[in-house]
Structure 1
Amino acid sequence: MNNLSNKQNISDFLKYLTLLIIIFGIFIRLSQYVSNRALWGDEASLALNIVDRSYAELLQPLDRNQAAPPGFLWIEKLFTQLFGNNEYSLRLFPLISGIVSLIAFYKLGKWAVSAIALPIAIILFACLRYTLYYATELKQYSSDVMIALLLCLLLIPLQQQILNIRRILLIGILGAVAIWFSHPTIFVLAGLASGNLILTSNQQKKAILINRLPAYFLWLISFGSMYFLTIARVMQNNSLQNAWGDEYPNTIFDLLWLLDSFGRFFSRPLGFSTIFDGIAILAFVIGSVFFIKKKPNKFIILMSPVFATLAATYLHKYPFRGRLILFLAPFFILVIAEGIAFLLTSFNHSKHHKYFLIAGITLACLLIAPSLIRAGTFVFYPENKHEIRPVIEYIKTHQKPGDGIYIGDGGPADQFEYYAGKYGYSQSDYARGYLSELVDAEKFYEQGWQQFKNQSNQLKNKQRIWFVFPGLNKKKEPFVKLHLDRIGKKLDYFSQPGAFTYLYQMK
Structure 2
Amino acid sequence: MPVPVATDTPLPFGHTTARSQWWAWASALIIGLGLLLRVVVWWQQRSIALDEANLIRNYVERSYGQLFQNLDYAQYAPPLFSVVVKACIGLFGNNELSVRLFPLLCSGATLVLFRQLVQRWLPLPFAALALASVAFGGLFIDYATECKQYATEGFVALGLLEVAHWAGRRPLTSRLALGLAALGAAAVWLSMTAVFVLAGMGLWWLTRSLLARDYRTTLRLVLMGASWGGSFLVYFFLLLKANAESTYLQQFHREYFLAFPPLSREDFSLLSGQLAGIADRAIGKTVLAMALAAVGAAVGTWQLLRRRDELFWLVLVPVLVCLTASALHYYSLIHRLTLFFLPLVIVVVFLGLATLATRRVPFVVLVALSLVVLGNQQRLRHLFKPFYGDYAEVRTGLEYIARHQRPGETAFMNYNVSPVAYYYLQLHTPPLHLRSVVLQQPHPSPTDLFEDAIGQMRQQGQGRVWLLYDRADESISTLAAAQGRILERFNFERGYVLLVQFAGPDAAPGR
TM-score (norm 2): 0.85
Tell whether 2:173 aligns with 1:164: yes
Q: Contact (CA 8 Å) 2:78, 2:190: kept in 1 or not?
A: yes
Is 1:217 aligned to residue 226 of structure 2? yes
Equivalent position to 1:432, from 428, 437, 440? 440
Secondary structure in 1 matching 2:340: helix
| Counterpart Cα distance in 2 of 1:220 and 1:343 | 39
CA contact (8 A) 2:107 2:152 kept: yes
Structure 2 distance, partners of 1:340, 1:252, is 28
> How big is the shift at 1:92?
0.3
Give the one of 191, 194, 219 matched to 2:203: 194
C-alpha spacing 1:79/1:431, structure 2 compared with 1 (3 Å): closer
> Which of 272, 292, 309 is the aligned partner of 2:284?
272
8 A Cα contact 1:29 1:135, kept in partner = yes
The more displaced of 29-38 and 225-234 is 225-234
Query: Which residue pairs with 2:486 in the alignment?
Result: 490
Of stretches 50-59 and 258-267 in structure 1, the one that deviates more from structure 2 is: 258-267
Secondary structure class of the residue paired with 1:63: coil
- Residue in 1 aligned with 2:106? 97
Question: How far, CA to CA, are the matches of 2:142 and 2:356 in structure 1?
Answer: 30
Equivalent residue letter for 1:58: L
Q: Report how far residue 327 of structure 1 moved.
A: 0.7
* Structure 2 CA distance for aligned equivalents of residues 246 and 7 of structure 1: 45
1:52 Cα offset (Å) = 2.4
Aligned CA distance change for structure 1 residues 97 and 264 (closer, same or farther; 3 Å)? same
Rounded Cα–Cα distance in structure 1 between residues aligned with 2:222 and 2:464 = 68
Q: Could you tell me the percent identity over the aligned residues? A: 26
Name whichever of 139-148 and 110-119 sits farther off: 110-119
CA distance in 2, matches of 1:445, 1:329: 39
Structure 1 moving runs of 4+ over 6 Å: 442-446
Give the SS at the match of 1:122: helix
Cα distance in 2 for residues equivalent to 1:497 and 1:195: 48
Residue 297 to residue 97, structure 1, CA distance change in 2 (3 Å): closer
Q: Does the C-alpha gap of structure 1 residues 266 and 376 become closer, same or farther in structure 2, counting only changes over 3 Å?
A: same
Match of 1:85 in 2: 94
Q: Is the 8 A contact 1:191 1:307 kept in 2?
A: no
The 5 A counterparts of 1:435-450 are 448-449=452-453
> What per-residue deviation string (whole Å, max 9, x for no partner) do you get for residues 43-82 of structure 1?
2221222222221222232222211111111111000000
1:380 equivalent to 2:376? Answer: no
Instruction: Please tell me whether the aligned partners of residues 344 and 360 of structure 1 are also in contact (alpha carbons under 8 angstroms).
Output: yes
Conserved in 1, the CA contact under 8 Å of 2:200 and 2:313?
A: no
Is residue 412–residue 437 contact of structure 2 (8 Å, CA) maintained in 1? no
* Inter-partner Cα distance in structure 2 for 1:280 and 1:340: 9
Alpha carbons 1:340, 1:363 under 8 Å: kept: no
Question: RMSD of the alignment, in Å?
Answer: 3.0
* Alpha-carbon offset, residue 320 of structure 1: 3.1
**197-206 or 334-343: bigger deviation:** 197-206
Question: Any residues of structure 2 matched to 1:97-496 within 5 Å, and which?
Answer: 97-159=106-168, 162-198=171-207, 202-204=211-213, 206-235=215-244, 238-249=247-258, 256=268, 259-268=272-281, 270=282, 272-275=284-287, 276-292=289-305, 296-346=309-359, 356-357=362-363, 359-372=365-378, 375-384=379-388, 385-410=391-416, 412-421=417-426, 422-425=431-434, 429-432=437-440, 448-449=452-453, 452-453=456-457, 460-470=460-470, 472=471, 474=472, 476-477=473-474, 479-496=475-492
* TM-score (normalizing by structure 1): 0.86
Deviates more, 1:485-494 or 1:224-233: 224-233
Residues 65, 240 of structure 1: 8 Å contact kept: no
Structure 2 unpaired stretches of 5+: 1-14, 504-511
The CA distance in 2 between the partners of 1:235 and 1:288, in whole Å, is: 30
The verdict on how the C-alpha distance between 1:65 and 1:404 changes in structure 2, with shifts beyond 3 A counting, is same
Cα deviations by residue, 1:365-406 (Å, 9 ceiling, x for unpaired): 22222223xx11110113124222222122122212222222
Between stretches 416-425 and 137-146, larger displacement belongs to: 416-425
CA distance in 2, matches of 1:345, 1:306: 26
Residues 56 and 240 of structure 1: CA distance in aligned 2, closer, same or farther (over 3 Å)? farther
Compared CA separation, residues 180 and 491, structure 1 to 2 (3 A)? same
Tell me if structure 2 keeps the 8 A contact 1:160–1:208.
Answer: no
Preserved CA contact (<8 Å) 1:171 1:215: yes
1:95 deviation in Å? 0.4
State the secondary structure of the residue aligned to 2:94: coil
1:5-84 matched pairs, under 5 angstroms:
9-84=18-93
Distance 1:87 1:238, change over 3 A: farther
Residues 260, 191 of structure 1: CA spacing in aligned structure 2 closer, same or farther, 3 A cutoff? farther
In structure 1, give the amino acid aligned to 2:164. L
Aligned residues: 477
Letter in 2 for 1:97: C
Q: Distance in 2 between matches of 1:206 and 1:504?
A: 77
Structure 1 pair 177/395, CA: closer, same or farther in 2 (3 Å)? same
Q: Distance in 1 between matches of 2:345 and 2:30?
A: 19
Question: CA 1:402/1:60 → structure 2, altered by over 3 Å: closer, same or farther?
Answer: farther
Please tell me the residue identity of whatever aligns with 1:414. P
CA distance in 2, matches of 1:279, 1:8: 24
Deviation at 1:159, TM superposition (A): 3.3
- SS of the equivalent of 1:85 reads coil
Q: Take 1:27 and 1:323, find their aligned partners in 2: how far apart are those partners?
A: 22
Letter matched to residue 419 of structure 1? Y
Alpha-carbon distance between aligned partners in 2 of 1:152 and 1:379, rounded to the nearest angstrom:
31
Aligned mates of 1:461, 1:309 — CA distance in 2: 56
**What displacement does 1:131 show?**
1.7
- Closer/same/farther in 2, CA of residues 433 and 51 from structure 1, 3 Å limit: closer
* CA–CA distance in structure 2, aligned partners of residues 250 and 35 of structure 1: 39
Task: Pick the structure with more helix per residue.
Answer: 1
- Match of 2:461, as an amino acid? N
Letter of the structure 2 residue corresponding to residue 416 of structure 1: A
Which segment drifts farther, 377-386 or 355-364?
355-364
SS at match of 1:68: coil
Separation in 2 of the partners of 1:258 and 1:203?
40
SS in 2 for 1:98: helix
Shift of 1:506: 0.7
